[in-house]
Structure 1
Amino acid sequence: MRTEAEMRKWVGLVALLVAEAMNLLDATIVQVAAPVIHGELGGATSDIQWFGAAYTLPFAALLITGGRLGDLAGRRRVFRIGVTGFVLASIGCALATQSGVLIGARAIQGATAAAIIPQTIGLIRSAFSGPDLPKALGSIGPVMGLAGISGPVLGGVITEVTSWRVVFLVNVPLGLAVLGLARLVPESRSPLRRGLDLPGTGLLIAGSALLVFPILQSQHWFLAPIGLAVLAACVLQQRATGARLLELSLFARPGFGAALVTSTLFFAVLSGLTLVVVLHQQLTLQHGVLRASLALLPWSAASGVSSWCAGQWLVQRVDSRLMYAGLGVLLIGLGAAHWWLIPALGVAGAGVGLFTTAFFTEALSRVEPHETGSAAGLLNAVQQFGGTLGVAGLGSVFLSHPTTLHPALLIATAAVLGTLGSAHLMRSPRSRRRVHAAPGPAATGR
């Protein structure tokens, strides 16, 4: 029988899992509702992509700083401040009367989410130990799978029955529940505490924005090389200042650099393809928002089931080689989607669940406790940045050829093949020996 202190920890875990799910729900719900929002608020066609990118871009750019803030000021404290800001920004989104106002409120949402997400792994690792730790970390995958399944359907039902504004108000009761339960999570800080790097953060935000903006707008392409130059300057600044934004020791871990590339490519496909399917259903086939959301149900359901199976059995038996199987199944689904879209999405979703579980287990298996905040922030950052690029790139390709999915599917297939190569680089001989030594979370699912 568990003691009262142990029960408090497990109840506190619920708050962390709900916060993770809330982030995924917000992204998937808004993707489904985006065409309806644009129809009511008006604005440029590219605003449909900005409804998502305005959230993910500051989220990606500030995740590392968010992780560092938790290391310094206390992860639970920063987590609760972030949740409070997220709830207030969600109310602002619901009250928006113009596309520009909504995009601005979404950016604030993304910034506050960057204070929430990096704290979860650190808080779980500090609260649990022994055999309870892998159980707590392993609960992330099924929860994210359930959120992924319910997000598109919930977005379609809410938008169809009530209003897209209620889509954002869903975050209010969820956020208040999280704030109430989070007090049960014990506070934790990093044993190695460094100051914030505001110049580095500024360079990262500016470089990311300059790189993504021309892709979203399909113009002002001269900004993209400037963005790359600013990001290069960020790297040089990190080296010159002793890398106060990042833990450079992470890049000495076998395969961690390849994991960042893998995450970027994979989640570009994941986020971009989800948006493209919704746009195809609503703009090309003229389906209603509810029917469009149901088109994603095979994808989400298969992803949730395969993620759970992988976390419970397959990763322990197959190890990180399961990544290859997941990407192979995903490629089969993308190929079949040229002819049988809905069934093919189910196949692709099964591949997504297999891959994400094995990927995050492999990527986090070599992270030391003092690197947790930086590693979680960095992995989530490139994941969100990849998602932003996917929404921008695949979304722009589809909007340029709105009568067919074929060009977007071909580009997504090429990106998955690139993911296959970078995933292979993660599996160094040393990392293969260590994969069972330190279990990581099954998936973040974003």
Structure 2
Amino acid sequence: MLLAGEAMDMLDALVAAVAAPSVRAELGGGASLTQWLGAAYTLAMAVGLITGGRLGDVAGRRRMFLAGAAGFTAASLLCAAAGSPETLIAGRGLQGLCGAVMIPQGLGLIREMFSGRELNRALGMYGPVMGLAYVGGPVLAGWLVSADWFGSGWRMVFLVNLPLGLLALLGGWRFLPRSGPAGGTRLDVVGVVLASVAALPVVFPLVQGRELGWPAWVFVALAAGVALFGVFGWYEARRERGGGDPLVLTGLFRKRAFSGGLVTGAVLFAAVAGFSLVLSLFLQSGLGASPLEAGLAVLPWSGGTVVGFVVVQVLDGKGAMERLGRALVQLGVGVMALGSGGFAAVLAGAGAEVTVWRGAPALAVVGLGMGLVMGPFFSTVLAAVEPRETGSAAGTLTAVQQFGSALGVAVLGTVFFSVLGGQVAGAAETVAPRVLAEAGVAGPERPALVAAVRACGRETAESPDPSVPAESCRLSAGRPAGEAGRAATRLGYSGAMRITLWAELALLAVTFAVSFLLPRPPRRR
């Protein structure tokens, strides 16, 4: 039931991009609706996570998990029944807030229910489930939208949460331990306000900055958010020194496993979330795959993750996890980098002939590395956390994951879109003359069509809403020009994806470097 709650959260964090075209077709709204379907959820989740984790210590983890699961299920029903864009966005925000209450309790409850090697195995399942949800979420969402069960269309991506939510509620009510709140612990209301106010100006610019063109106020907001987090940290340390109950226990940051894990996790999730975004854009907008086809194309990524998880479980069964420690995390990051580099090589070799399945072996290698990383990650980071610190640790760790994911989407999304228009225009200069010549288009008509294809590709690639054809595309709507435009689009998107993969490799290199902050395994005498 804990993993069911985690699956609901990860699925709903990823469905917005897949379901957005169908949502707009039925409810209306512009490109901003697509942005806010994801942003409302991410912002609400990030703002509430630190508080949600601490609420488990204050009011009881079982109680908070059940409350969060009930609220998340009800909010999903609200989203599925939405008759207007405003109602849907409000439902998404409510989902994020309830998820912020539900998700941090999972790690705390696992630590309550298990110990020793069983605890490592339970935490070892947590990471792969998150990884599989990252990769498999778009597959499920694409299938649900395409299947159109009972004529529900996009609404089914939210209705699927109802059985998952009921499973989490019934299972939690029956099996979770009835532990009460920590005696005498009170909620730090001032800390809640400071954390919420600080999170908003950090996450909002990361989520919306690229779509807005990175205006100056975005960087001012980021700086203000960082400063507010400094004030929050000062207040929490002062409150703890005074004998109060802080929202975040500052002693956590003196533990190398936890503080190193926060930094490593932030960069790791930035690499994973950013790559997932640009891969989906490349498959659907660049190669013309349907949501279902794009989801199926990343199944090798999911399969590789499962294999990596099995390898970790085998190593744990042989007692090798304690000897490997952070080395297994570093090995996994290296394998992810190998797969990303292989994907870039495939794109370079395929050119305009690239298909959705060409990169399957490389994606399987990326998934293998991700399984090797995720398997030991949570058990390593939470190894030294004491029971009274669990709620604070879980909320802080999950919040940092959200910040890292938003950062990765901002960084890799910005790289991808900043080069996309030029890559498509340049590809039109290379591909369009050859395709038009093969189609028998000659004379003065051909240069005009090449220029139209180039303009159409650039304007569509640079548009905030690529699903709406640019004005110049009407000039290249004929069959030969249309074929040339599709070839140029494939080649241009392929070039933009290759450049973005260099940024992905840079993030993985940073992940490898900061993973040295994790503690070494204890030496055996």
In the alignment, what sits opposite 1:441?
none
Q: Indicate which of 65, 68, 71 corresponds to 1:79.
A: 65
Runs of 5+ unmatched residues, structure 2: 347-358, 421-460, 462-492
C-alpha distance in 2 between matches for 1:41 and 1:145:
32
Say how many residue pairs are matched.
418
Q: Which moved more, 1:339-348 or 1:276-285?
A: 339-348
In the alignment, what sits opposite 1:409?
501
Deviation by residue 1:307-362 (Cα, 9 ceiling, x = unmatched)? 23213316345222111111111111222222324332221111111112232222
In the alignment, what sits opposite 1:238?
236
Q: Which amino acid aligns with 1:238?
A: E
Q: Secondary structure at the match of 1:281?
A: helix
Deviation by residue 1:272-311 (Cα, 9 ceiling, x = unmatched)? 2112111222222221111111122111221122023213
Q: 1:228 to 1:154 in 2, by over 3 A?
A: same
In the alignment, what sits opposite 1:227?
225
Q: Indicate which of 143, 147, 158 corresponds to 1:161.
A: 147
Instruction: List aligned pairs for 1:16-31, cutoff 5 A.
Output: 16-31=2-17
Identical-residue share of aligned pairs (%): 42
Instruction: List aligned pairs for 1:33-432, cutoff 5 A.
Output: 33-38=19-24, 40-45=26-31, 47-129=33-115, 132-141=118-127, 143-144=129-130, 147-148=133-134, 150-162=136-148, 163-184=153-174, 185-189=176-180, 191=182, 193-215=184-206, 216=208, 217-218=212-213, 219=215, 220-221=217-218, 222-242=220-240, 244-313=246-315, 315-316=321-322, 318-340=324-346, 341-400=359-418, 401=420, 402=461, 403=493, 404-427=496-519, 431-432=520-521
Runs of 5+ unmatched residues, structure 1: 1-14, 437-446
Deviation by residue 1:136-182 (Cα, 9 ceiling, x = unmatched)? 44443454455456433211111111111110110011111221121
Q: 1:308 to 1:23 in 2, by over 3 A?
A: farther
Q: Secondary structure at the match of 2:515?
A: helix
TM-score (norm 1): 0.86
Q: 1:50 to 1:343 in 2, by over 3 A?
A: farther
- 8 A contact 2:127–2:378 mirrored in 1: no
Q: 1:312 to 1:141 in 2, by over 3 A?
A: farther
Q: 1:85 to 1:201 in 2, by over 3 A?
A: same
Q: Secondary structure at the match of 2:325?
A: helix
- 8 A contact 1:70–1:189 mirrored in 2: no
Q: Secondary structure at the match of 2:186?
A: coil
Q: Kindly name which structure, 1 or 2, has the bigger radius of gyration based on alpha carbons.
A: 2
Q: Which moved more, 1:137-146 or 1:202-211?
A: 137-146
Q: 1:390 to 1:96 in 2, by over 3 A?
A: farther
Relative contact order higher in (CA < 8 Å, ≥ 6 apart): 1
- 8 A contact 1:142–1:308 mirrored in 2: no
Q: Secondary structure at the match of 2:157?
A: helix
C-alpha distance in 2 between matches for 1:192 and 1:391:
41
C-alpha distance in 2 between matches for 1:347 and 1:133:
28
Alpha-carbon deviation of 1:100? 4.3
Q: Secondary structure at the match of 1:321?
A: helix
In the alignment, what sits opposite 2:442?
none
- 8 A contact 2:43–2:204 mirrored in 1: no
- 8 A contact 2:42–2:402 mirrored in 1: yes
C-alpha distance in 2 between matches for 1:424 and 1:27:
30
C-alpha distance in 2 between matches for 1:156 and 1:323:
31
Q: Which amino acid aligns with 1:169?
A: L
C-alpha distance in 1 between matches for 2:20 and 2:499:
22
Alpha-carbon deviation of 1:375? 0.9
Q: 1:362 to 1:137 in 2, by over 3 A?
A: closer
C-alpha distance in 1 between matches for 2:344 and 2:135:
23
Q: Which amino acid aligns with 1:413?
A: L
Q: 1:127 to 1:322 in 2, by over 3 A?
A: closer
Q: 1:209 to 1:433 in 2, by over 3 A?
A: same
